Amino acid sequence: MPCTDWIPTPHRHTPGKHRSCPALRCLLALALVFCGWLPLGAQSQPAVAINLLYATNRVPLDHDRKEAHFDNVPGALTVGTATVVVEPDIESDTGSWPTVRNAALEPGWVALEPFPQNDLAELADALALERTDRTALVYVHGFMKSFEAAARDLAGIVYGAGYQGVPIVFSWPAGSSPLGYADDTLSMNRSIPSLSAVLAALSTTEHIEKIHLVAHSMGNQALLAVLTQMIRSDQAAHWKRGELILYAPDVDRATFMTETLPLLRESDFRPTLYVAAFDVPLMSSRVVNNGPRLGDADAGIAVDPGMDTVDATPVAKFLDRHNHHLTRGSQADVGKLLEGIEPADRTTLRARDNGSGRYWEIIGGEENAQ
């Protein structure tokens, strides 16, 4: 029996106002439909599905391009939908998300539906009509992340933050070796034109009102490079500004504070910086790059009137501080940020001062870093 409650409700549109088509509707529906039932245990809840859009310049390894398997070499930019199965918290409410009805699908499962027209703006506009929040959120992952891992990370953020807009993962060809930092840096730099094309396409959407930009680790280098290009070429003047979220940025601190941040401020971008102490990858990057990184709280928490700084250390797992963006405590705060709630009014935060100015600390403990 078809799972019709997964299929987006059709809308009537004024001719010429929307570029969607029946084939696109079918594509979105197929990306959302499962059949069968998932047995429920006494202490478990049904898994849920998070529907994302994806854009990647990775070369696909599968000929049918419906499996989420990509190489770590660059190729042409392709787009489509990605469905990720997420295992919710026991106490959380799953009412906002489609329930997965196939017992064979484990949490973390990722499936793709490539969009033949390869038109990200059309795809995003169509999905926006099915969402209560007419915003988009573009996520750029960091070093040593596979396509599947990046899609799972964004799905977790979407679920944990309760985000109801259009999430989009941009996946560049990161490698799989902890010794491949230099290769990943080169690959990331070569992917900047593809990310620029993604943001340019989204700027032409009809039904999306704001575009949130989120990056983690090395992905911040690519995102900030594109934003810098946009500002200097006046493309940012018509940008649909949403939040700019910098998770554990592997970015040179001095350059950001003296050059990038003033440029962002002049163009009305106010970033939110998330940092943590004992972030081993950023501590290593400090040595490799011969200078402190922006997201490394051990090198001093960066504070400036032109941005909001949030210390995620209290909710970060001790041995995985670099991935504090995947904790429920951090995601809950981002959810309030995306709702437009100022730091002083967010119940997830408390004020701190390090002598250089005020910053914020997420309220919680490592028992919440799940």
The stretch 327-355 carries a mean pLDDT of 97
Predicted pLDDT of residue 235: 83
CATH class of the region 20-35+46-368: alpha beta
The stretch 220-249 carries a mean pLDDT of 94
Q: Is the pLDDT of residue 76 over 60?
A: yes
- In whole numbers, what is the pLDDT of the chain averaged over residues? 87
Q: Report which of 316, 307, 305, 315 is spatially closest to residue 271, judged by C-alpha positions.
A: 307
**Calpha distance 99→91 (Å, rounded):** 16
pLDDT in tens, 139-160: 999 999 999 999 999 999 999 9
Q: Report which of 184, 154, 149 is spatially closest to residue 169, judged by C-alpha positions.
A: 154
pLDDT in tens, 237-261: 789 999 999 999 999 999 999 999 9
Predicted pLDDT of residue 365: 62
**Using an 8 Å Cβ cutoff, are 312 and 276 in contact?**
yes
Largest CA distance in the chain: 63
The stretch 83-107 carries a mean pLDDT of 83
Q: Is the pLDDT of residue 13 over 70?
A: no
CA angle 245, 210, 252 (to 5 degrees): 25
For tokens 């070369």, the residue is 59
- Residues 6 or more apart whose Cβ sits within 8 Å of residue 146: 70, 174, 176
pTM score, whole prediction: 0.87
Check residues 47 and 95 and name the one with the higher pLDDT: 47
**Using an 8 Å Cβ cutoff, are 356 and 303 in contact?**
yes
User: Which stretches of the chain are DSSP H helices?
Assistant: 22-30, 120-128, 147-161, 181-190, 192-202, 219-232, 253-255, 261-266, 280-288, 328-338
CA-based end-to-end distance of the chain: 36
Domains of the chain, by residue range, sit at 20-35+46-368
Q: Report which of 114, 104, 120, 102 is spatially closest to residue 147, judged by C-alpha positions.
A: 114
